[in-house]
Chains A and B, each alone.
Chain A
């Protein structure tokens, strides 16, 4: 086959349990630049590959605060500063009436931040990715489970790593061209 720079080595497994086990061992073996792919969320997998930091909640919080504040301030400014006018004998700053919009704005911003924050942190959208070069990877969205060790890993060596992966008893191992 044509020689191309290697992006990583990918092992295919049959079940979530195997993948989690494999991931744990790989991580224990000191590999850090690894990733795992599953057709559905597998709780244990993230920490198995040593992933802990998760920015999404913070982003959401910021969004919520931003929305709520801007919502209330907008109303306050309009009603008392920009265009104060007597409406039905109510005071300009009738805060009880401003609660609803404030609430809705909080939710709206929080929601938008949560979703787009998540996508951003995940680096999505990303139509192309080297792993797609592996034909069998199409099953990652159906019923197969994949573990990859990136060539960028300091302990990576095409021979050692392959041997290590074989020791995990995968269904198959394939090189991922970049």
Chain B
């Protein structure tokens, strides 16, 4: 991750927190969003829409269970369609949170403090959205638990040579660790809310969640150690998850899958889309809740730089893929390359190149890096691009493999779309709830950023 270290380090001019803030103001401003501020109608509308989309997803899944995966566009040879595309896409998005919290923490990037909280939440929700797909995409979803090793009367176990089993472990581990990390980070702030909230129920609930935190020096000491250790563990983990996901393809022998470049460029791609999503959330939130003091230009800039860097890694990945297709002299790989450029799915492929490689280059321009609307737009483009990338890898590789006789085409059905858009709704609904009931910025970590937090030697 050297790449994003540099841009971050370069930038020291812009402040990470607005001027004129004290412990009290920081605490009040952030906790007020949850405790005192009235819930805006905008929130209700937004949540309502997201909720309806979630319901649509549940309906699509219900129908899927009744009729079978045949309601989707998948077929032979394209055995994997939207489900896997969306799975990889969401998992990728889910990388930013832990990355920001863990890696930037280890790198002592204090600017992370104001965005790590909701980035982590975003991670949890993205991973949950991703987690739905592997479960429902199987032909007999009610037996999906057979992928977990558990003692059973069949005396039979999962087949540990299969990348899908690796996935199960990687994703569930990632979710668990991210959850712990997020919750541990929340505890002191929950204590703050406990002590700030006026209503009894709120006090009780937050109190329970705060586990009776009282900020004792001993506790803080162990807490810090654990938090640091967790960050240390999460760092290799976050790098491993998308590596493992990329194994789903790299281990296969399908031309377009069977390549060693996948792990690094999957990870880069994940962070790429992850930061894009962070920005897409951060930019509106800071505006709506007036948090410009905490999520400053600097945060936006740094995120943009991370995207720029990872975007270049991804571009490198594409280049190598193309190069190997030509250089290997393998007639199947060569055709896969040709098919991407000229085949029936050429348009999505070119669109992918535009979204992921060409458009983001404008981030070299400082003016755009610092303009929220521009960043918001570019992030959207990148998210689309990354989805297309997964579509190209999954569908376009499969639809024309070795035997020309069994080439096919893939056409998603309305159920594919409903499920996909539904998960976006679910993700947003969760985000809406989060910003409403939990401090979306780590209060205690913000306090440490204030000058008065310095302990002056006597």
Question: Taking the complex as a whole, does A directly touch B, i.e. does some CB pair lie under 8 Å apart?
Answer: yes
Q: Is B214 an interface residue (CB 8 A)?
A: yes
Please, what's the 1-or-0 string for A129-142, where 1 marks a CB less than 8 Å from any CB in chain B? 10110000111111
Tell me the minimal C-beta distance from B251 to chain A in angstroms. Answer: 9
> A133-158: which have CB < 8 Å to B?
137-143
Which residues of the other chain, B, contact A127 by a CB distance below 8 angstroms? 207-208, 211-212
CB–CB A45/B194 < 8 A: no
Please, what's the 1-or-0 string for B162-192, where 1 marks a CB less than 8 Å from any CB in chain A? 0001100110110011001101100010011
CB–CB A142/B160 < 8 A: no
CB–CB B161/A41 < 8 A: no
CB–CB A107/B229 < 8 A: no
Stretch at the interface among A1-9, A96-104, A161-169: A96-104
CB–CB B214/A140 < 8 A: yes
Tell me the minimal C-beta distance from B191 to chain A in angstroms. Answer: 5
> In the complex, what residue of chain B is closest to A140 when comparing beta carbons?
B215
> A39-78: which have CB < 8 Å to B?
39-46, 48-49, 51, 54-57, 60, 64, 74-75, 78
- Which of B208, B213, B455 sits near A43, CB closer than 8 Å? B455
A101–B244 Cα gap in the complex (Å)? 10
CB–CB B208/A104 < 8 A: no
A129–B229 Cα gap in the complex (Å)? 28
**Would A17 and B455 be within 8 Å (CB), given that A98-B160, A100-B244, A141-B192 are in contact?**
yes
CB–CB A78/B455 < 8 A: no
A119–B214 Cα gap in the complex (Å)? 13
Q: Is B323 an interface residue (CB 8 A)?
A: no
A119–B188 Cα gap in the complex (Å)? 13
> B405-458: which have CB < 8 Å to A?
444-445, 447-448, 452-456, 458
**Would A111 and B212 be within 8 Å (CB), given that A35-B218, A36-B217, A78-B160 are in contact?**
no
Stretch at the interface among B12-20, B104-112, B219-227, B287-295: B219-227
Chain A residues proximal to chain B, CB less than 8 Å: 15-17, 20-21, 23, 35-46, 48-49, 51, 54-57, 60, 64, 74-75, 78-79, 82-83, 87-88, 90, 94, 97-98, 100-101, 103-105, 107-108, 110-112, 114-115, 117-119, 121-122, 124-129, 131-132, 137-143
A-B contact pairs, 20 of them (CB 8 A): A36-B216, A36-B217, A37-B217, A39-B23, A39-B215, A45-B221, A46-B217, A51-B218, A78-B160, A88-B161, A97-B161, A103-B236, A105-B169, A108-B173, A111-B177, A118-B226, A124-B212, A129-B214, A138-B196, A140-B215
